[in-house]
Amino acid sequence: MTNPTTDVRDRVLSLPSGELPAYVYDLAALREHAATVRAALPERVELYYAAKANPEPEILAALGPYVDGYEVASGGELDHVAKAVPGRSLAFGGPGKTPDEITAALELGVERFHVESEYELHMLAELARRAAPGSRVAVLPRFNLPVASGSLAAGSLAMGGRPTPFGLDPSEADSVMRLLTDGTYPHLELRGIHAHLASGLRAAEQLAVAESIVKWAVGLAERHDGVRLAEVNVGGGMTVDYAAPEERFDWVTYGEGLAELVSRYPDLTLRIEPGRALTAYCGWYATEVLDVKQSHGEEFAVVRGGTHHMRTPATKGHDQPCTVLAVQDWAHPWPRSAARRELVTLTGQLCTPKDVLARNVRAPGLRAGDRVAFALAGAYAWNISHHDFLMHPRPGFHFLDDVDTESAGGEGAQGEGFAH
């Protein structure tokens, strides 16, 4: 089990049943965490937030003071992030960019393009020539580099080092370098190299990956005389351990390792673009137990909502960590169903056996009407879920923020919103 802060707990317990489930985001906790991450990173390491992990405008804004910019991976994200955090640096990545998306990005003045293929490079060059004939667009080709298998932990998700649709094949590196340096594309400027090879890595593994990317990139530049690499983006993918929610990615060790790495290359700026490890911890998916029942020797509690709101445990095949908040008041004239065993499996309201949020949760005496707060629901949770399946109502959204509550006061001060 993992414990919500008092603010989160109070909010979850104060909501009427009809306003559950709810996503409760602790923006104060997010700020504190982001400040810790920032403080652990040395100079010449830039921090971009991968918006796809959680693009809620309040989250993007709360991260503002701690990040150098945002990585977007679609025209939709581009538009949304540009509005939510106007004027901030954006990097546009992701496979299958359309000509319209690229044009929109050029018009918005996106700072960097992470180019995924040679075809995309040709397209970008032509669109850049038309959109901004007098200027140059910064390009970082993304490469699908080999990852030493020893550096990948079990449960990590590899985007690189094996056949995938992501990035350029390393065999294309020399021809792409030539195209970007021989005057073929006067409207493009080779700024550096990008790679995002795996997710779910611990600090030591991340450092090994970062070092191999940098070495490869520097070696490539050396093969092409006179090419100066200003930046290497080593991607995101810092682990979040759903089985040990109190443990966090070791940012201090990672920062120290990156400091050592950049010290070897005085002209280089490194960039990282984590998503999950920045925002997972600030989010809670809170709900109410609707029923508790036995089935073939096991006990199940059905909660309001389910994996159509928080798909994370279904996609990752884990048990979402949670805390039970017992509720004493019972408004109904019928008795509450209650658990008779120690361990209870928490499921949602969907008519599919896949709608499991957490198996074998130790919750003796759990009763209908009790509340459950699922932790680590701040990344890849609501925004990856199949909301419309079975037509249940959408959750509420609450953004708890000490700063706003004190200064603004009154209704709406805590960023209440049910607009999703």
CA distances from 181 to 110, 122, 123, 137, 229 (A): 21, 14, 17, 13, 12
Minimum CB distance to ligand PLP, residue 29 (Å): 18
Helix then strand then coil, in percent of the chain rounded to 5, is 35, 25, 40
Report the alpha-carbon distance of residue 286 to residue 123 in Å, rounded: 46
Which residues in this chain contact ligand PLP in the complex, by CB under 6 A?
50, 52-53, 71, 73, 93, 196, 199, 235-238, 273-277
> Measured from the CB atom, is 199 or 323 closer to ligand PLP?
199
CB–CB of 68/50 below 8 Å?
A: no
Minimum CB distance to ligand PLP, residue 227 (Å): 23
Nearest to 289 by CA among 203, 384, 358, 202: 358
Q: Please, what is the Cα angle at 337 between 333 and 342, to 5 degrees? A: 150
Minimum CB distance to ligand PLP, residue 18 (Å): 33
CA distances from 70 to 22, 27, 120, 268, 419 (A): 26, 18, 21, 20, 24
> Measured from the CB atom, is 4 or 236 closer to ligand PLP?
236
> Measured from the CB atom, is 317 or 410 closer to ligand PLP?
317
Q: Pinpoint the alpha helices (H) of 203-245.
A: 203-223
Minimum CB distance to ligand PLP, residue 74 (Å): 11
> Measured from the CB atom, is 50 or 127 closer to ligand PLP?
50
Minimum CB distance to ligand PLP, residue 251 (Å): 13
What is the three-class DSSP state of 20?
coil
> Measured from the CB atom, is 235 or 257 closer to ligand PLP?
235
Strand ranges inside 215-278, DSSP E: 231-233, 269-272
Catalytic residue among 351, 388, 391, 406: 351
DSSP state of 142: B
**351 is an active site residue:** yes
Query: Tokens 């609450």, residue?
Result: 398
Which residues does the annotation mark as catalytic?
351
